[in-house]
Amino acid sequence: MKVTVLGAGNGAHALAGDLSLRGHEVTLWENPAFEQGLEYLRANDNRFRLTGVIDDTARIARVTTDAALAMRDAEIVYCVMPSYAQESAFDHIAPFAREGQSFLIMPGNFGSVSLYMRLKKRGIADGVLVGESDTIPYATRLQPDKSCLVFGLKPSMWISAIPAKNTEALIASLKPAFPIELMPLPDVLSVALANTNMILHCPTMIMNAGRIEFCDRFRFYNDGMTPSVCRVMEAMDRERLAVGEAWGCKLIPEFDDAIANYSLDRSKYKNLYEIFSNHPVYGNHGPDSPTAMNYRYLSEDVPFLLVPVSEMGRAAGVPTPTIDSIAQLAEVANDTPYRQMGRGLAAMGMAGLSVGEARKIIIG
């Protein structure tokens, strides 16, 4: 199939390389503002090495910053980039989207809503399939030599389309050119709200600020998630669940999610602290804490996860005091207006809509 991958970071390289090795014709597009990310590929005939669970040299059909070229023949378009880069990418590619294409935003963090509403304004939303996932298929990092180390490949991930009635059609369209199983969730809000990075990352950053800025690196999960940090996480998670319920989403508590994700023996754990203080997967990483407060655990998770949850809560009359407190402290700590720049309801194209009106668009 003809596939376009938007982005040139860790996950985008892994996906583009893997799909190329599986025989698909892949175009890798990068925002012109970050064109330097394509220099290595262009200098090496679009070839790069994948190592780890994928061990081969891939050649991508084309790399470009030309959105018209990237979109022209694409049957499937995968957006694999941080949330803060998505809106600019949508500005570039939306004018060239055409009926019959399938779009998947990975991870979405409500990005599918933003893209869908843009295409709706163009009058072509009914002719395309748009959705998002809660994560990306790979655990991966680009190495200093520009090879792509793939630590692991997930067995499956969650996905939904907007409107939700298109989810099965979206999964069917992606299946021939996707490396893992795609599992449906009821709607894209459920997918975005299932991303609990906001629960794990944000309070751990804020409550370990002094340690991050002035001490040696520590194990972010095992050492940073102390009993008090985990109690704040649990309060934030209760607020996330309440917002989800008000918007018609049946979400899984973070405790249950952590147990399931790593096949842990539930009988051995009573709370998040008991899970993360001794978690073998994270402990094997060694000291892995961020070294600055402007790390993506705040710069991405606050504006693109906490902010929309807070605004959704306000729209539904559900208070989110702990989430709001962490967002406020993150803004002050980094002197950055995350709530102003984040993906609130206005940025999603849903300003002024009631919960019922917004749900009608989401569900279809």
Q: Is the dihedral of CA 38, 44, 45, 48 positive or negative?
A: negative
Does residue 178 sit in helix, strand or coil? coil
Contact 68, 101 (CB under 8 A): no
pLDDT for the residue 243? 98
Is 80 exceeded by the pLDDT of residue 280?
A: no
What's the pTM? 0.89
**% of the chain beyond a pLDDT of 90:** 89
- DSSP code at position 110: T
Is 80 exceeded by the pLDDT of residue 9?
A: yes
Is 80 exceeded by the pLDDT of residue 281?
A: no
Distance CA 109, CA 298 (A): 14
Is 80 exceeded by the pLDDT of residue 284?
A: no
Structure tokens at 217: 């690196």
Is 90 exceeded by the pLDDT of residue 263?
A: no
Q: What is the pLDDT of residues 74-123, one digit of tens each?
A: 999 999 999 999 999 999 999 999 999 999 999 999 999 999 999 999 99
Give the CA angle between residues 297, 322, 249 to the nearest 5°: 80
Question: What band does 151 get if pLDDT is binned at 50, 70 and 90?
Answer: confident
pLDDT for the residue 22? 97
pLDDT for the residue 78? 98
Angle between helix axes 227-246 and 254-261 (nearest 10 degrees) is: 110
Beta strands in 209-254 (DSSP E): none
Q: What is the pLDDT of residues 200-239, one digit of tens each?
A: 999 999 999 999 999 999 999 999 999 999 999 999 999 9
Q: How do strand 129-133 and strand 47-52 relate by DSSP bridges?
A: unpaired
Residues 6+ apart with CB under 8 A from 22: 177, 179
Element (H, E) at 52: strand 47-52
